[in-house]
């Protein structure tokens, strides 16, 4: 049997596995190698958290909103005559619904900029739609090669909007690797730069004192490394948010994040039980 195996997609390694320690066991104690019975129903249906259900609109400030469904939340704000969308999740259908919500919230013609804060596939699955729609894409500088590969991938069996507009659409990319101001400092982007959050960005909407925490605050029930990294990055860049939200976190007072870090500090203090 092979010591290592690889699954390739378009000639590139997508999954690899290397076997470590082996031991011989009796044949009658080994698991069956028979193929399982064919399922009576297709297993291809997307799990609920990936389904592009209609997003609910939650207002954060006069011109800032969350677009949220059972799986993913995104944020959108208007600054000047430009719309900034933070993340493009779940795929083309979700992106279309986001576009419709944005048109309803901000009537008229606007330039659109999409900020990709994290690179997990469900977090960027709407990227191709926005590239096809002419949006500018901002992400961490180190994300460029990966995002280019997503845009360059040919979808010939079931052409999406980008494939249909392949001759005219192109990736308009802006890469950042430090604090970066947008719309006259109405918005700023900040690398989180933690152990678990490399190549991830967070965004701060100044007027609303609102911090978009990407995917890096997932719970406020207890302290977590992710939340600590976002909190530390906010302190490092002298941000003073009043509220925060993330892809799996509803609108939350920043005071709760401060409280979690105090709990974490107490637990790790000398003499703590």
pLDDT at 203: 98
Return the H-helix or E-strand segment holding 220. Answer: none
User: Kindly report the CA angle at 70 between 69 and 71, in degrees rounded to 5?
Assistant: 95
* d(C-alpha 208, C-alpha 268), whole Å: 33
* d(C-alpha 53, C-alpha 61), whole Å: 24
Alpha-carbon torsion angle 15, 21, 24, 26, nearest 10: -60
Domain that holds residue 154: 50-213
Listed residue (192, 166, 259, 184) closest to 221, CA to CA: 259
- 1 in a domain, yes or no? no
- 186 in a domain, yes or no? yes
Residues 6 or more apart whose Cβ sits within 8 Å of residue 59: 65
User: Kindly report the CA angle at 250 between 232 and 199, in degrees rounded to 5?
Assistant: 40
CB-CB contact of 59 with 65 (8 Å): yes
* d(C-alpha 134, C-alpha 168), whole Å: 9
- 130 in a domain, yes or no? yes
Q: How far is CA 118 from CA 20, 64, 192, 199, in A?
A: 32, 20, 10, 7
pLDDT at 258: 96
pLDDT at 259: 95
- Burial class, 180, CB count within 10 angstroms (exposed 0-12 / middle 13-18 / buried 19+): middle
CB-CB contact of 216 with 203 (8 Å): no
Listed residue (108, 104, 72) closest to 88, CA to CA: 72
In the DSSP assignment, the letter for residue 215 is T
Question: What is the arrangement of strands in the sheet containing 64-68, beginning at the earlier edge strand?
Answer: 56-61, 64-68, 73-79, 82-86, 111-115, 136-140, 172-176
> What's the CATH number where 81 sits?
3.60.15.10
**What is the mean pLDDT of each successive set of 10 residues along the chain, which is 273 residues long?**
83 85 86 83 78 96 97 96 96 97 96 96 95 98 95 92 96 97 97 93 98 95 94 97 97 97 77 56
- 148 in a domain, yes or no? yes
* d(C-alpha 143, C-alpha 114), whole Å: 14
pLDDT at 205: 98
The count of domains in the chain is 1
């Amino acid at each position: 049997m092979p010591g290592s195996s690889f699954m390739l997609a378009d000639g590139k390694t997508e999954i690899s596995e290397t076997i470590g320690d082996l031991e011989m066991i009796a044949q009658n104690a080994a698991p069956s190698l028979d193929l399982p019975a064919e399922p009576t129903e297709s297993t291809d249906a997307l799990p609920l958290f990936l389904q592009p259900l209609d997003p609910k609109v939650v207002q954060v400030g006069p011109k800032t909103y969350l677009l949220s469904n059972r799986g993913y939340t995104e944020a959108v704000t208007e600054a000047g005559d430009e719309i900034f969308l933070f993340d493009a999740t779940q795929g083309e259908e979700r992106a279309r619904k986001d576009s419709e919500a944005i048109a309803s919230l901000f009537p008229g013609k606007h330039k659109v900029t999409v900020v990709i804060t994290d690179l997990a596939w469900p977090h960027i699955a709407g990227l191709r739609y926005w590239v096809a729609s002419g949006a500018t894409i901002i992400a961490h500088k180190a994300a460029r090669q990966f995002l280019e590969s997503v845009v360059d991938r040919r979808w010939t069996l079931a052409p999406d909007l980008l494939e249909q507009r392949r001759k005219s659409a192109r990736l308009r990319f802006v890469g950042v690797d430090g604090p970066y101001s947008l719309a006259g400092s109405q918005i700023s982007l900040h690398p989180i730069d933690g152990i678990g959050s490399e190549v991830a960005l967070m965004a701060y909407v100044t007027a609303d004192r609102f911090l978009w925490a990407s995917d890096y605050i997932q719970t406020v029930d207890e302290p977590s490394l992710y939340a600590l990294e976002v909190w530390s990055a906010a302190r490092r860049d002298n941000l003073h948010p009043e509220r925060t939200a993330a892809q799996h976190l509803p609108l939350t007072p920043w005071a709760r994040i401060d409280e979690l870090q105090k709990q974490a500090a107490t637990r790790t203090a000398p003499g703590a039980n």
